[in-house]
């Protein structure tokens, strides 16, 4: 069995979700202690493994180096006979591609365009796309086809690359384990003879023109399961075509000029660069009548995920009532491609030199972006804050336009957010319904300038404090008991799966089943009832109307809620004091909603939908609404499962996966 | 058909230049075809317009019998453009070229991002020049800044630029950056051209003569904070917040009275050295020329909720007012007396009646942006700060004795005892 684990010290990709689970669970003291114990044992184990591996690696590396130099020499000898000068005015590119267990590189005309020898990353198939006329690198991707589903992403990407482009492939470490038939066939259709037979720990390089000739391919088979194929170095030449041949002939308009600039620089955006029928880059959604947020600046916080940014901006610019002139994209770092995307859509972008690391870096980027937003739009009383991995609902601005006056007038409000943490497919129902919650969901929200300028900006965590900005904003010192307004059905959708705190596993469990409004022009119901005092009246009315559920049944069972529609039900759970979320967390777990920390509560009350009925949960006796509990009803108590070592996040994720 | 009308004028009246009129007309046509609103800020034309303003206001559509304003032979005519009213589309320039205009764009860093660590936006256009035949249009781009005012940038040529494109030195805007109130505009017809002008041309011209703007020295401020990390304690945050709101209140009160003031002493040092309020300074300091003194000042502050804390000196000599702001933060207003070769303000020690004099080299006033406010500071800030704090002003000092620490303090005798009741008032 052990032999089937390649690179045992490469950490499984689940580690991000572990990190997240930690982050949220750290508040829990007991979990913390357990965690420390587990942590210590794990640490010991890892240290031992790393040390053993280090010894093995050093030996192997020394061996490998000898081999590489030998190979280099060989290739030099062979290459002597190849004519090095361009013939017939055609420009020729020299391309070198290297594939090995621990290092890959690609050099074009002597310039290294890819070099990856970092340990424990960059595993899989590296793909580089060159412009066939200029030789410029248009895209660089790595698909970890040792892991599942990455081959699908690669196929998607390769299909989007325009015909005629030069494609360069090279494998680092392992690239075949989850490389399925479909992907192999795509590679084969590009002209690769080896791809169909690529197997465990083979080394492979390939250079070809999409839909055209093959410039070279090299392959080294792995002799045994426990070892890698020998490093391969491919040296070849690519003939460049004329610029006209490499470009599309779109009508000469302002938009197409932007499109042309974009499409000659980058690849992997599919139909936006299609010659025949390019997808529009201007959307002109219907304007909003009486749009109260037309002059509100929109700050899009971005990193280096240009494809995400592209998807995000498309949805943002398609939302009714959008005002592109108010949008600024803040890019964390000097990355070119996100800026290219921003320019494609004719928006303004600002780059930010990173000044810290990890979470603190994100936090500093947020601060700089917010400050800059209010500097650039000094008249603004609010700013809309978005992230690059969100889809924006078609009625996002309509939703804000109808609710923003509350944020202006009701000082007990902290924010308006487009995201309902508990709004899953099976728990959200009413697009016209709003809630007040004590938590700050983020993911598309409105910030009041006075809150930022007077309170947050002056004491924003400094770079040496490695804090998450959102966690910091949720702390009682900042929130000061204020609440956020959220919709029942979210107006944003979190699609990002590669991020600092995000991976596919985690996304699948907590975000994929989130409900997202697609109905335009939703008229929000009873907005005035969201004001502080009015909301209490509203809640009392609801509780008065609500039917008390049968507390002898198991609340996790579907039958707990009758098969009705449009009714209001209430259940009472045990909640000894304000911070006692024991039962709630268990309930959230079995309802398959957010359970990593407590979200969406208002004075010990949660509101969601079950089977199209409004479903209220009151924590007794901590909630002031406890008085609504009939004396005959005993609040339900749900015990947390007996803690197994290291079982902190797994049950929740596993549960969510079953849905 | 208008053009034809004035072509005739050209022959009949010497010293007239219908080229200018034609170029302006073409330019206005170009911009309106792209829906870009501009307004006239040419000081020479506005000066002429101001004389006839009543008549022009009363007949916004009337045909003009002669070309009075746009035909005086000049090298250029100046217009303003509000940045937020247009979309920066390249189409404008292509149309301009087709119409025969040559154009030049002056871009530079965005000062609104300058104060921020490590942000680099796109450079922003500050000035455009459109040239046709012998006439040029200078289009000044105005930006909204924090503090509810408009800002235009300096005009600086980069190396590769054509220095002879227009006589740059003669341009009315661009020698310095400038700060302006947001103007009310009026659509008028002058010389048969429909054009927007500031509603009150004379006050615009007045404003223009004092519009010079100084940017805070953000880079130096950053260097300062590298050396002396900022105080981020809760007290410091609270004090800054109070000082900011006190300054906003003081500015509102004095602006309503029409009294010109500037940042002085510690507040000025805070702006100049660190682009922020010095958290351990404990008060807000303003300067006012004694010639701008008004008796309404004290009641106005009291009405604004700031009671008088003390009043030292008198209008003729060493006047100084102090108002009590929220929780211990006080507002000190020093009145400045102008002499032939220097300017001074006075100080008084309450218990002894001793007088002090603080001397400054002469200075003029510039606008700046400070804590989301458009305020005045001495243009010659370095001399001002050095006079007050000496050459070591860059080093923060926590203990400061206003009677001995300033490097420009002089003993100035003692108030006669019989005047004490008047010149030493403490509340």
Touching check for B199 and chain A: CB below 8 Å? no
Touching check for B84 and chain A: CB below 8 Å? yes
B19-211 under CATH 3.30.460, yes or no: yes
Residue A370 distance to chain B (closest CA, Å): 11
- Specify the residue for token string 């009151």: A618
Contact yes or no for B120 and A348 at CB 8 A: no
CA A145 to CA B254: how far, in whole Å?
Answer: 70
What pLDDT score was predicted for residue B123? 85
Average pLDDT, chain A: 85
- Specify the residue for token string 């005309």: A109
C-beta of residue A520 within 8 angstroms of C-beta of residue A394: yes
Touching check for B118 and chain A: CB below 8 Å? yes
Touching check for B242 and chain A: CB below 8 Å? no
Contact yes or no for A375 and B232 at CB 8 A: no
Touching check for B119 and chain A: CB below 8 Å? yes
Contact yes or no for B237 and A459 at CB 8 A: yes
CA B147 to CA B127: how far, in whole Å?
Answer: 22
CA A563 to CA A571: how far, in whole Å?
Answer: 16
- Specify the residue for token string 């003939």: A239
Read off the pLDDT of residues A250-289 as tens digits, 9 standing for 90 and up.
998 889 999 999 999 999 888 899 888 899 999 999 999 9
CA A495 to CA A510: how far, in whole Å?
Answer: 11
SS3 assignment for A535-587: HHHHHHHHHHHCEECCCCCCCCCHHHCCCCCCCEEEEEEEECCCCCCHHHHHH
List B99's β-bridge partners, or say none: none
> What does each C-alpha distance from A215 to A218, A247, B25 come to in angstroms?
11, 22, 61
CA A295 to CA A291: how far, in whole Å?
Answer: 9
> What does each C-alpha distance from B314 to B296, B307, B321, B413 come to in angstroms?
15, 18, 10, 15
Which chain A residue's Cα is nearest to B114?
A: A372
Q: What's the rounded mean pLDDT across residues A391-408? A: 97
Contacts of B248 in chain A (CB under 8 A): none
Which chain B residue's Cα is nearest to A458?
A: B237
Touching check for B4 and chain A: CB below 8 Å? no
Band (A499; pLDDT cuts 50, 70, 90):
very low
Please report how the helices B18-33 and B2-12 are oriented relative to each other, as an axis angle in degrees rounded to 10. 160
Contacts of A458 in chain B (CB under 8 A): 232, 237, 240-241
The two tokens of residue B303 are 């009405």
Band (A8; pLDDT cuts 50, 70, 90):
very low
Residue B113 distance to chain A (closest CA, Å): 6
C-beta of residue A173 within 8 angstroms of C-beta of residue A7: yes
Window 124-183 of B, Cβ < 8 Å to A: 144-148
What pLDDT score was predicted for residue A41? 65
Read off the pLDDT of residues B247-300 as tens digits, 9 standing for 90 and up.
999 999 999 999 999 999 999 999 999 999 999 888 999 999 999 999 999 999
Asked whether residue A1 carries a pLDDT value surpassing 70, the answer given is no
Give the SS3 label for residue A255: helix
List A447's β-bridge partners, or say none: A383
Touching check for B111 and chain A: CB below 8 Å? no
Contact yes or no for A378 and B147 at CB 8 A: yes
What pLDDT score was predicted for residue B89? 74
Contact yes or no for A349 and B121 at CB 8 A: yes
> Which candidate from A257, A351, A378 shows the least CB-CB separation from B146?
A378
SS3 assignment for chain B: CHHHHHHHHHHHCCCCCHHHHHHHHHHHHHHHHCCCCEEECCHHHHHHHHHCHHHHHHCCCCCCCCCCCCCCCCCEEEEEEEHHHCCCCCHHHHHHHHCCCEEEEEEECCHHHHCCCCEEECCEEEEEEEEECCEEEEEEEEEEECCCEEEECCCCCCCCCCCCCCCHHHCCCCCCCEEECCCCEEEEEECCEEEEEECCHHHHHHHHHCCEECCCCHHHHHHHHHHCCCCCCHHHHHHHHHHHHHHHHHHHHHHHHCCCCEECHHHHHHHHHHCCCCCCCCEEEEEEEHHHCCCCHHHHHHHCCCCEEEEEEECCEEEEEEEECCCCCEEEEEEEEECCCCEEEEEECCCCCEEEEEEECCCCEEEEEECCEEEEEECCHHHHHHHHHCCCCCCCCCCCCCCCCCCCEEEEEECCHHHHHHHEEEC
List A445's β-bridge partners, or say none: A385, A417
Which chain B residue's Cα is nearest to A450?
A: B241
The two tokens of residue B218 are 């953000």
Contact yes or no for A350 and B112 at CB 8 A: no
Contact yes or no for B241 and A349 at CB 8 A: no
Residue A606 distance to chain B (closest CA, Å): 35
CA A375 to CA A120: how far, in whole Å?
Answer: 42
Touching check for B235 and chain A: CB below 8 Å? no
Contacts of A376 in chain B (CB under 8 A): 110, 112-113
Compute the residue count for chain A: 659
Domain range list for chain A? 92-245, 298-527, 531-628
What pLDDT score was predicted for residue A56? 52
Residue A500 distance to chain B (closest CA, Å): 22
Q: What's the rounded mean pLDDT across residues A92-111? A: 95
CA A479 to CA A254: how far, in whole Å?
Answer: 46
C-beta of residue A531 within 8 angstroms of C-beta of residue A410: yes
User: What number is the ipTM of this complex?
Assistant: 0.84
What pLDDT score was predicted for residue B17? 64
List A318's β-bridge partners, or say none: none
Contact yes or no for B145 and A368 at CB 8 A: no
The two tokens of residue A639 are 């015990």
Residue A304 distance to chain B (closest CA, Å): 16
> What does each C-alpha distance from A601 to A423, A487, A522 come to in angstroms?
13, 13, 24
Touching check for B215 and chain A: CB below 8 Å? no
What pLDDT score was predicted for residue A560? 96
Instruction: State the count of interchain CB pairs (< 8 A) between A and B.
Output: 68
> Which candidate from B115, B119, B144 shows the least CB-CB separation from A350?
B119
Q: Dmax of chain B from CA atoms?
A: 81
> Which candidate from B89, B112, B117 shows the least CB-CB separation from A376?
B112
Contact yes or no for A379 and B148 at CB 8 A: yes
Residues of A forming the active site: 389, 470
Band (B137; pLDDT cuts 50, 70, 90):
very high
Contacts of A453 in chain B (CB under 8 A): 372
Contact yes or no for B117 and A355 at CB 8 A: yes
Contact residues of A toward B, CB < 8 A: 254, 257, 325, 348-355, 368, 371-372, 374-379, 453-454, 458-459, 462
CA B225 to CA B15: how far, in whole Å?
Answer: 60
CA B106 to CA B127: how far, in whole Å?
Answer: 5
Contacts of B87 in chain A (CB under 8 A): 325
Pick among B90, B98, B119 to test the A interface (most A CBs inside 10 A): B119
C-beta of residue A311 within 8 angstroms of C-beta of residue A391: yes
Asked whether residue A651 carries a pLDDT value surpassing 50, the answer given is no
The CB-based long-range contact list for B195-203 (8 Å cut-off, 24+ gap) reads B195/B28, B195/B39, B195/B40, B196/B37, B196/B38, B196/B39, B196/B40, B197/B39, B197/B40, B197/B46, B197/B49, B198/B39, B198/B41, B198/B46, B201/B46, B201/B47, B201/B49, B201/B50, B201/B53, B202/B50, B202/B53
Which one, of A230, A273, A281, A275, lies nearest residue A129 by Cα?
A273
Band (A189; pLDDT cuts 50, 70, 90):
very high
Residues 6+ apart with CB under 8 A from A282: A255, A317, A346
Read off the pLDDT of residues B30-79 as tens digits, 9 standing for 90 and up.
999 999 999 999 999 999 999 999 888 887 666 777 888 998 889 999 99
CA A273 to CA A136: how far, in whole Å?
Answer: 16
Domain range list for chain B? 19-211, 218-426
Band (A65; pLDDT cuts 50, 70, 90):
very low
Which chain B residue's Cα is nearest to A378?
A: B146
DSSP A463: T
Which chain A residue's Cα is nearest to B92?
A: A254
Give the SS3 label for residue A290: coil
Contacts of A379 in chain B (CB under 8 A): 144, 148
C-beta of residue B143 within 8 angstroms of C-beta of residue B180: no
Fold of A298-527: Spore Coat Polysaccharide Biosynthesis Protein SpsA; Chain A (3.90.550)
Window 365-394 of B, Cβ < 8 Å to A: 372
What pLDDT score was predicted for residue A423? 95
- Specify the residue for token string 């003669």: B170
Count CA atoms closer than 13 A to A608's CA, side-chain side: 27
């Amino acid at each position: 069995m052990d032999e089937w684990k390649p690179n045992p010290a490469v950490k499984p990709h689940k580690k991000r979700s572990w990190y997240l689970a930690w982050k949220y669970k750290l508040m829990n003291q007991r979990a913390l202690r357990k965690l420390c114990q587990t942590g210590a044992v794990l640490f010991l184990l890892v240290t031992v493994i790393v040390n053993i591996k280090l010894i093995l690696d050093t030996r192997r590396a020394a061996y490998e180096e000898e081999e590489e130099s030998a190979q280099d020499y060989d290739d030099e000898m062979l290459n002597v006979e190849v004519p090095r000068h361009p013939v017939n005015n055609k420009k020729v590119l020299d391309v070198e591609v290297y594939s090995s267990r621990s290092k890959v590189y690609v050099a074009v005309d002597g310039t290294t365009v890819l070099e990856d020898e970092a340990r424990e990353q960059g595993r899989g198939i590296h793909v580089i796309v060159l412009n066939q006329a200029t030789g410029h690198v248009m895209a660089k991707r790595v698909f970890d086809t040792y892991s599942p589903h990455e081959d699908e992403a690669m196929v998607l990407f390769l299909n989007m690359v325009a015909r005629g482009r030069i494609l360069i492939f090279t494998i680092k470490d392992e690239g075949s384990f989850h490389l399925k038939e479909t992907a192999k066939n795509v590679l084969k259709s590009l002209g690769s003879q080896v791809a169909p037979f690529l197997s465990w720990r083979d080394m492979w390089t390939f250079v070809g023109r999409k839909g055209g000739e093959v410039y070279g391919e090299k392959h080294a088979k792995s002799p045994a399961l426990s070892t890698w194929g020998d490093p391969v170095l491919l040296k070849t030449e690519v003939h460049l075509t004329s610029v006209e041949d490499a470009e599309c002939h779109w009508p000469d308009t302002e938009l197409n000029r932007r499109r042309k600039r974009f499409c000659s620089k980058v690849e992997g955006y599919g139909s936006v660069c299609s010659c025949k029928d390019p997808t529009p880059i201007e959307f002109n959604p219907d304007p909003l009548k009486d749009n109260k947020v037309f002059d509100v600046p929109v700050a899009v916080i971005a990193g280096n995920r240009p494809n995400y940014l592209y998807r995000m901006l498309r949805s943002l610019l398609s939302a009714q009532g959008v005002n592109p002139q108010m949008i600024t994209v803040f890019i964390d770092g000097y990355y070119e491609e996100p800026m290219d995307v921003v320019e494609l859509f004719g928006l303004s972008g600002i780059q930010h030199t990173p000044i810290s690391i990890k979470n603190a870096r994100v936090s500093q980027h947020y601060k700089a972006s917010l400050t800059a937003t209010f500097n650039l739009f000094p008249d603004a009383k609010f700013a809309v804050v978005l992230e690059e991995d969100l889809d924006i609902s078609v009625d996002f601005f309509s939703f804000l336009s109808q609710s923003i006056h509350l944020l202006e007038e009701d000082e007990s409000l902290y924010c308006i957010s487009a995201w309902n943490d508990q709004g899953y497919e099976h728990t959200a129902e009413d697009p016209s319904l709003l809630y007040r919650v004590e938590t700050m969901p983020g993911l598309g929200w409105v910030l009041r300038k006075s809150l930022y300028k007077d309170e947050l900006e002056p004491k924003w965590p400094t770079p040496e404090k490695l804090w998450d900005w959102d966690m910091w904003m949720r702390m009682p010192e900042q929130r000061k008991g204020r609440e956020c307004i959220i919709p029942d059905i979210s107006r944003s959708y979190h699609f990002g799966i590669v991020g600092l705190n995000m991976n596919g596993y985690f996304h699948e469990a907590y975000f994929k089943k989130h409900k997202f409004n697609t109905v335009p022009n939703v008229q929000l119901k009873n907005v005035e009832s969201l004001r502080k005092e009015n909301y209490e009246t509203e809640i009392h009315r609801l509780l008065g109307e609500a039917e008390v559920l049968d507390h002898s049944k198991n609340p996790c069972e579907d039958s707990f809620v009758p098969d009705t529609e449009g009714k209001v039900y209430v259940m009472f759970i045990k909640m000894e004091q304000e911070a006692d979320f024991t039962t709630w967390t268990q309930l959230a777990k079995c309802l398959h909603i957010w359970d990593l920390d407590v979200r969406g509560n208002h004075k010990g009350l949660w509101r969601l939908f079950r089977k199209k009925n409004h479903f209220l949960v009151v924590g007794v006796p901590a909630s002031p609404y406890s008085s609504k509990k009939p004396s005959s009803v005993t609040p339900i108590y749900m015990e947390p499962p007996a803690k197994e070592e290291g079982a902190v996040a797994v049950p929740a994720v596993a549960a969510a996966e079953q849905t | 058909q208008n053009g034809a009308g004035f072509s005739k004028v050209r022959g009949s009246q010497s010293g007239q230049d219908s080229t200018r009129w034609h170029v302006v007309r073409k330019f206005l046509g170009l911009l309106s075809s792209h829906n870009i609103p501009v307004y006239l800020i040419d000081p020479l034309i506005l000066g002429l317009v101001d004389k006839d303003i009543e008549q022009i206001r009363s007949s916004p559509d009337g045909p003009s019998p002669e070309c009075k304003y746009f035909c005086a032979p000049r090298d250029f005519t100046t217009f303003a453009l509000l940045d937020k009213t247009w979309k920066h589309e390249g189409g404008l320039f292509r149309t301009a070229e087709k119409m025969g205009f040559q154009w030049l764009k002056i871009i530079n860093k965005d000062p609104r991002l300058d104060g921020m660590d490590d942000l680099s936006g796109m450079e922003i256009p500050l000035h455009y020049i459109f040239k046709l035949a012998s006439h040029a249009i200078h289009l000044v781009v105005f930006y909204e800044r924090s503090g509810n005012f408009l800002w235009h940038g300096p005009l600086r040529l980069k190396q590769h630029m054509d220095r002879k494109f227009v006589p740059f030195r003669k341009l009315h805007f661009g020698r310095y950056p400038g700060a302006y109130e947001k103007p009310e505009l009026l659509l008028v017809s002058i010389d048969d051209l429909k054009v927007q002008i500031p509603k009150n041309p004379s006050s615009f011209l007045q404003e223009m003569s004092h519009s010079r703007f100084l940017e805070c020295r953000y880079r130096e401020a950053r260097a300062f904070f590298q050396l002396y990390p900022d105080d981020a304690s809760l007290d410091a945050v609270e004090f800054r917040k109070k000082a900011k709101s006190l300054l906003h209140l003081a500015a509102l009160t004095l602006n309503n009275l029409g009294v010109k003031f500037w940042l002085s002493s510690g507040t000025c040092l805070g702006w100049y050295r660190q682009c922020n309020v010095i958290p351990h300074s404990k008060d807000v300091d303003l300067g006012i020329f004694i010639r701008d003194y008004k008796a309404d000042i004290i009641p106005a502050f009291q009405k604004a909720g700031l009671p008088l804390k003390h009043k030292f000196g008198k209008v003729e000599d060493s006047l100084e007012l102090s108002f009590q702001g929220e929780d211990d933060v006080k507002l000190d207003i020093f009145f400045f007396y102008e002499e032939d070769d220097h300017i001074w303000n006075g100080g008084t020690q309450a218990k002894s009646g001793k007088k002090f004099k603080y001397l400054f080299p002469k200075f003029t006033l510039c606008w700046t942006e400070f804590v989301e406010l458009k305020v005045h500071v001495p243009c010659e800030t370095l001399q001002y700060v050095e006079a007050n704090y000496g050459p070591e002003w860059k080093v923060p000092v926590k203990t400061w004795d206003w009677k001995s620490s300033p490097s420009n303090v002089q003993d100035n005798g003692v108030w006669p005892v019989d005047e004490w009741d008047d010149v030493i008032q403490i509340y």
